[in-house]
Amino acid sequence: MDFALTDEQQLVRETARAFAEREIAPRARENARRAHFDTELVAKIAAQGYLGAIVPREYGGPGLGYTTYGLIVEEIGRADSAMRTVVSVQTSLVCSAILRWGTEEQKRAYLPKLCSGEWLGCFGLTEPDTGSDAANQKTRARRDGDRWIINGSKMWISMGNHADVALVFAQTDPDKRHRGVACFLVDTAQDGFQPTEIHGKMGLHASDTAAISLVDVEATEMLGEVGDGFKVAMTALDSGRFSVASGCVGICQGCVDESVRYATEREQFGRPIAAFQLVQSMLAEMKVKTDAARMLTWRAGWMKDQGLPNTTETSIAKLYATEAAQWCANTAIQVHGGAGYVDDHPVERWFRDVRVTTLYEGTSQIQQLIIGRSLTGINALVPS
């Protein structure tokens, strides 16, 4: 693996950084304070081609590889994790699932509208009583002629209040467990699709998060066949974990940059606090964790671009990058002292926003089980 970026990748990275600094970062604090999902900013992100970045040109995307996509997500994640969530859900969960499992007709019908931002999508997997046990879907789907009728509920669904199309996972035959799960393409405009905004979150205040009630919701299309739903979810989560890891690399880098800036400007006892050994120790450890997280994430992206099996490597990247970002955000506040405890500095927001990254797209403990399975050959996850 060559760690040198191509000229194109460097240009994409610089362009994404400039865009994030110009358009996203200046709005981040106020959007978080107001708990405002900034649809105007989402439209600007879409206009840059950052929604569906991995989608081929023939389906309306820019056709970028995962490594290049990761560079974009890193820069957006550094500016605002709430907007990074939009990119991750739209691209890694929704678009990647349609690209991998959709028919040619479905790809041409859905992907151009998702890539352009004309439509937003959401990924309806998690339920009030079903998190890590993704096969244990309580939502039910029954066939009625040429359509399916879906009833149930979903929880913690990013963009659920704004989505035009939802990927809804439902059980068609409880006796079959994961072999009975299907993934339906659901039009959210129907009356039975009832999202409710979730309030009181610790972080990601500017991100839209919904609880969704499904009452006799109709669907005529699914990704793959009945029984493929669990596989659809797992492949989408593989892509989602990569984007979360990339965004966390951005948070790590932001913590380094802001902490170095603050430590060299802030004086105590007549000298910059950067002159104190223990402060330098914190800065050094942040830098090491940032570089390690980036290299692990780039490795996963490179393997995806090569078409190599990468589930374990993606889980390693997600596990390390999310835990590292949490550590870096906490340490950055320590470097800032009392100033880091208010949102005058972005480290306060990063600290709140990063906490959820060790939970969604598979908790850190789930990532450890995936890695453990690859080492031992003993499967603790997939139901029998």
Domain boundary among 101, 120, 139: 120
150 with 201, same domain: the answer is: yes
Residue 173 lies in a domain: yes
Q: Which domain holds residue 187?
A: 122-227
Q: Tell me, what's the pLDDT at 178?
A: 86
346 with 266, same domain: the answer is: yes
Report the predicted TM-score, pTM, of the whole model to 2 decimal places: 0.95
SS3 162: coil
Residue 188 lies in a domain: yes
Query: Which two three-digit tokens encode residue 358?
Result: 């060790």
Give the separation between CA 122 and CA 341, rounded to whole angstroms: 33
Residue 1 lies in a domain: no
CA dihedral 77, 78, 79, 83 (to 10 degrees): 10
Question: What's the average pLDDT block by block, 10 residues per block, for the chain (384 residues)?
Answer: 89 98 98 98 98 97 97 98 98 98 98 98 94 83 96 97 98 91 97 97 98 98 96 96 98 98 95 97 98 98 97 98 98 98 97 97 95 94 56
Q: Tell me, what's the pLDDT at 273?
A: 97
Nearest Cα to 83, choosing from 212, 208, 245, 196?
208
75 with 126, same domain: the answer is: no
Cβ atoms 206, 37 nearer than 8 A = yes
Within 10 Å of residue 230's Cβ, how many Cβ atoms? 22
Cβ atoms 322, 312 nearer than 8 A = no
264 with 159, same domain: the answer is: no
Give the separation between CA 200 and CA 70, rounded to whole angstroms: 30
Q: Tell me, what's the pLDDT at 56?
A: 98
Cβ atoms 233, 125 nearer than 8 A = yes
Q: Tell me, what's the pLDDT at 383?
A: 52
Q: Tell me, what's the pLDDT at 133?
A: 76
185 with 309, same domain: the answer is: no
Q: Tell me, what's the pLDDT at 384?
A: 46
Residue 339 lies in a domain: yes
The answer to whether 361 is a known catalytic residue is yes
Q: Tell me, what's the pLDDT at 382?
A: 59
Domain boundary among 186, 202, 227: 227
Q: From the candidates 74, 75, 323, 361, which is the catalytic residue?
A: 361
Q: Tell me, what's the pLDDT at 129?
A: 85
246 with 359, same domain: the answer is: yes
State how many domains the chain has: 3
